């Protein structure tokens, strides 16, 4: 009987202990993860960019004929309509108010408004933009120091490491997505250009995210998100911040990117050249011209050399060579490997800026024209009434402009985003665009003005 009472007491104690365990609060997990800390740290530096752009709602029903374009605009087009284009950016300098974003976010902008996380609004100015890298720098003025992101290092990114993207997709402010680094050094084909050396992630990147920061787990800026690849689903891309740093410095100092000058003209290797070189498996690009007194000439390069690598980039095509050349800053010493006399040789090229006095030869070779500033003699010869621009005085046979019937007496008014008033501005625009494959130009003939995308010769 005593044993029965003893067992009953044990059961009662066990029951009470179980009830006490159930009543005790569950162990709390730390919800303030590194992701939360990173977002809290960087969030105030992420901005919303809205811009007013001019668009025409109606299409010309007569086709692409420039004459009917003008006729349609004069009589049927109701005029430009304004809409708001949303994007993101990140403050990289809180003292001076510099904001880093994508260049395509700012296309055809009129006024640009920037909204901070605390809802303060500023009107921004474009410091500089570079379409080739899809990067742009804005500036806003504030009486107080602005919050800014801390720069990271994109050269030590690890595949699989956690990343964080912050932006304003579809107008929703400060949306956070997370993922991992899926790949590095990706190339993207978009419209008429190839973007290279991108970080690939599985974090969602939408149009509103464009220009926003890609962060590592410590909240450091390792990339700028971009939504230039329209077919991407479940894939995000970002411009590595180490690639962007030189471009940012040039945009802030000069308003555009200063391209290094190497001084060679190259082309892809076709079957004929491979046979000539007696190498059917030939890789690289062949040097067809070494410019006199250029960095390449001083480094010992010759016509007929086969360039295999430039810096750390292996060269398999003309596009590879151009991308590698764009990544080099003026004044850099870069290693080059080339094939000559049956063996691989190496040299070092010390790059410089392109000499302004060579701009006329550059324009003749790549654009196919010779030009002069408007003067009284040219006004009489071509019956010109325009007050600014440069006059085409000669056109190279076989060039793209010759093919589309540009002729002496035509005026060049604009090249890409630069207005052309004289030969000096023409030379500057030519040097700036010398590594491009095409250029947007504004050309006038008589009273008619045409926007043309002009292909540049190699």
Q: Write the secondary structure of the chain as one string of H (helix), E (strand) and C (coil).
A: CHHHHHHHHHHHHHHHHHHHHHHCCCCCCCCCCHHHHHHHHHHHHEEEEEEEEEECCCCCCCCCCHHHHHHHHHHCCCCCEEEEEEEEEEEEECCCCEEEECHHHHCCEEEEEEECCCCCEEEEEEEEEECCCCEEEEECCCCCCCCCCEECCHHHCCCCCEEEEEECHHHCCCEEEEEEEEEEEEEEEECCEEEEEEEEECCCCCHHHCCCEEEECCCEEEEEEECCCCCCCCCEEEEEHHHHHHHHHHHHHHCCCCECECCEEEEECCHHHHHHHCCCCCCCEEEEEECCCCHHHHCCCCCCCEEEEECCEECCCHHHHHHHHHCCECCCEEEEEEEECCEEEEEEEECECCCHHHHHHHHHHHHCEEEEECCHHHHHHHCCCCCCCEEEEEECCCCHHHHCCCCCCCEEEEECCEECCCHHHHHHHHHHCCCCCEEEEEEEECCEEEEEEEECCC
Q: What are the phi and psi torsion angles at 245 (to 5°)?
A: -60, -45
- CA distances (Å), origin 326, targets 135, 166, 252, 351: 14, 28, 18, 12
- Mean pLDDT, residues 265-271: 81
Kindly give, in sequence order, each residue whose CB lies less than 8 Å from that of residue 401, ignoring residues fewer than 6 positions away.
367, 368, 369, 395, 454
Q: Inform me whether the pLDDT recorded for 346 exceeds 60.
A: yes
Reading the block at residue 321, the tokens are 């060579």
- Confidence band, pLDDT 50/70/90 cuts, at residue 87: confident
**Tokens coding 74:** 């004069």
Among 1-10, 70-79, 97-106, 324-333, top mean pLDDT goes to 97-106
CATH number at residue 445: 2.30.42.10
Tokens of 233: 């689903």
Specify whether the CB–CB gap between 247 and 136 falls below 8 A: no
The last residue of one of the domains, among 105, 139, 173, is 139
155 and 200 fall within a common domain: yes
Q: Please state, in angstroms and rounded to a whole number, the distance separating the CA atoms of residues 49 and 125.
A: 12
pLDDT score, position 329: 83
Of 139, 169, 188, the residue that ends a domain is 139
Claim to verify: residue 52 and residue 123 sit in the same structural domain: yes
Contact yes or no for 321/338 (Cβ under 8 A): no
Q: Phi and psi at residue 215, in whole multiples of 5°?
A: -115, 150
Q: What is the pLDDT of residues 192-223, one digit of tens each?
A: 566 778 899 988 777 777 899 999 999 999 99
Task: Report yes or no on 278 lying in a domain.
Answer: yes
- Determine the pLDDT at residue 137: 95
Q: How far apart are CA 44 and CA 14, in angstroms?
A: 54
Q: How confident is the model at residue 233 (pLDDT cuts 50, 70, 90)?
A: low
- Residue 109 belongs to a domain: yes
- Please tell me whether residues 244 and 290 are part of one structural domain: no
Residue with tokens 């891309």: 237
pLDDT of 90 strictly over 80: yes
Above 70 in pLDDT, residue 246?
yes
Of 222, 182, 180, nearest in space to 42 by CA: 222
Of 324, 350, 376, the one marking the end of a domain is 350
Same-domain pairing of 176 and 227:
yes
Both 416 and 329 in a single domain?
A: no
- Can you give the pLDDT at residue 229? 61
Distance CA 226, CA 214 (A): 10
Residue among 318, 295, 305 at smallest CA distance from 346: 305
Q: If you search the block for the tokens 């992101």, which residue do you land on? A: 149
- Sign of the C-alpha dihedral, residues 117, 119, 120, 121? positive
Structural domain contains residue 186? yes
Say yes or no: 249 and 271 in one domain: no
Two tokens at 103? 């260049």
Q: What is the CATH number of the domain that holds 202?
A: 2.40.10.10
Residue 68 — pLDDT band, cuts 50, 70, 90? very low
Catalytic residues: 104, 134, 210
pLDDT in tens, 110-150: 688 899 988 899 999 999 888 778 899 999 999 999 999 99
Give the phi and the psi of residue 337 in degrees, each rounded to 5.
Answer: -115, 135
Compute CA distances 270 → 53, 281, 319, 455, whole Å.
Answer: 44, 11, 14, 21
Q: How many domains does the chain have?
A: 4
Q: Is residue 211 part of a domain?
A: yes
Residue 14 lies in a domain: no
Are 155 and 250 in the same domain? yes
Least confident of 11-20, 251-260, 380-389: 11-20
Q: Domain with 126 in it: what CATH number?
A: 2.40.10.120
pLDDT of residue 271: 64
Q: Quick one: pLDDT at residue 316?
A: 87
Report the first-to-last Cα separation within the chain, whole angstroms.
107
Give the pairing of strands 150-151 and 220-226.
parallel
Decide if pLDDT at 58 tops 60.
no
Please check whether residue 133 lies inside any domain of the structure.
Answer: yes
Q: Is 363 found in the same domain as 346? A: no
The residue among 114, 104, 299, 287 whose CA lies nearest residue 207 is 104
237, 186 contact by CB (below 8 A): yes
User: Does residue 445 share a domain with residue 369?
Assistant: yes
Task: Identify whether 7 is part of a domain.
Answer: no
> What rounded mean pLDDT belongs to the chain?
83
- Does residue 19 belong to any structural domain of this protein? no
Look at residue 20 in the predicted model and tell me its pLDDT: 58
User: By percentage, how much of the chain surpasses pLDDT 70?
Assistant: 79
Residues 132 and 43 in one domain: yes
**CA 327/CA 198 separation, integer angstroms:** 13
Say if residue 120 is in the same domain as residue 134: yes
Q: Do 182 and 223 lie in a common domain? A: yes
The per-residue pLDDT for range 361-418, each reduced to its tens digit, is 999 999 999 999 999 999 999 988 888 889 999 999 999 999 988 999 999 999 987 8
Domain of 294 in residue numbering reads as 264-350
Confidence of residue 82 (pLDDT cuts 50, 70, 90): low
Instruction: Give the pLDDT band of residue 62 (cuts 50, 70, 90).
Output: very low
């Amino acid at each position: 009987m005593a044993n029965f009472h003893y067992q009953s007491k044990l059961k009662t104690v066990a029951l009470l202990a179980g009830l006490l365990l159930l009543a005790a609060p569950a162990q709390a997990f730390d919800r303030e993860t590194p992701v939360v800390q990173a977002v809290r740290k960087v969030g105030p530096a992420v901005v919303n960019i809205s811009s007013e752009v001019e668009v025409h709602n109606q299409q010309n029903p007569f086709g692409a004929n420039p004459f009917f374009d003008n006729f349609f605009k004069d009589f049927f087009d109701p005029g430009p309509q304004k809409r708001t284009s949303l994007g993101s950016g990140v403050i990289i300098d809180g003292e001076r108010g510099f904001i880093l974003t994508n260049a395509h976010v700012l296309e055809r902008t009129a006024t640009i408004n920037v909204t901070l996380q605390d809802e303060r609004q500023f009107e921004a100015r474009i410091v500089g933009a570079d379409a080739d890298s899809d990067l742009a720098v804005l500036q806003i003025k504030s009486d107080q120091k602005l919050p800014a992101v801390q720069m990271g290092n994109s050269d030590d990114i690890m595949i699989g490491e956690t990343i964080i993207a912050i932006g304003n997709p579809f107008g929703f402010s400060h949306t956070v997505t997370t993922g991992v680094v899926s790949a590095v050094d990706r190339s993207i084909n978009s419209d008429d250009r190839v973007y290279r050396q991108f970080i690939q992630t599985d974090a969602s990147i939408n149009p509103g995210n464009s220009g926003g920061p890609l962060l590592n787990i410590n909240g450091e800026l390792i990339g700028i998100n971009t939504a230039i690849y329209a077919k991407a689903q479940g894939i995000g891309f970002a411009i590595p911040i180490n690639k962007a740093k030189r471009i940012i410095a040039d945009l802030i100092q000069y308003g555009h990117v200063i391209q290094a000058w190497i001084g060679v003209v190259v082309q892809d290797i076709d079957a004929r050249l491979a046979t000539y070189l007696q190498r059917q498996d030939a890789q690289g690009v062949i040097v067809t011209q070494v410019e006199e007194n250029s960095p390449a000439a001083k480094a010992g390069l010759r016509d007929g050399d086969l360039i295999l690598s430039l810096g750390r980039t292996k060269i398999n095509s003309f596009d590879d060579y151009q991308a590698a050349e764009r990544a080099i800053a003026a004044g850099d010493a870069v290693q080059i490997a080339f094939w000559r006399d049956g063996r691989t040789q190496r040299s070092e090229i010390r790059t410089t800026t392109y000499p302004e006095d060579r701009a006329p030869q550059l324009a003749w070779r790549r654009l196919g024209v010779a030009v002069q500033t408007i003067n009284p003699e040219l006004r009489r010869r071509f019956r010109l009434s325009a007050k600014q621009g440069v006059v085409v005085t000669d056109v190279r046979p076989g060039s793209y402009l010759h093919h589309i019937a540009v002729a002496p007496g035509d005026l060049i008014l604009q090249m890409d985003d630069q207005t052309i008033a004289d030969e000096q501005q023409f030379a500057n625009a030519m040097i700036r665009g010398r590594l491009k494959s095409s250029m947007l130009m504004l050309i006038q003939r008589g009273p008619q003005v045409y926007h043309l995308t002009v292909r540049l010769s190699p």
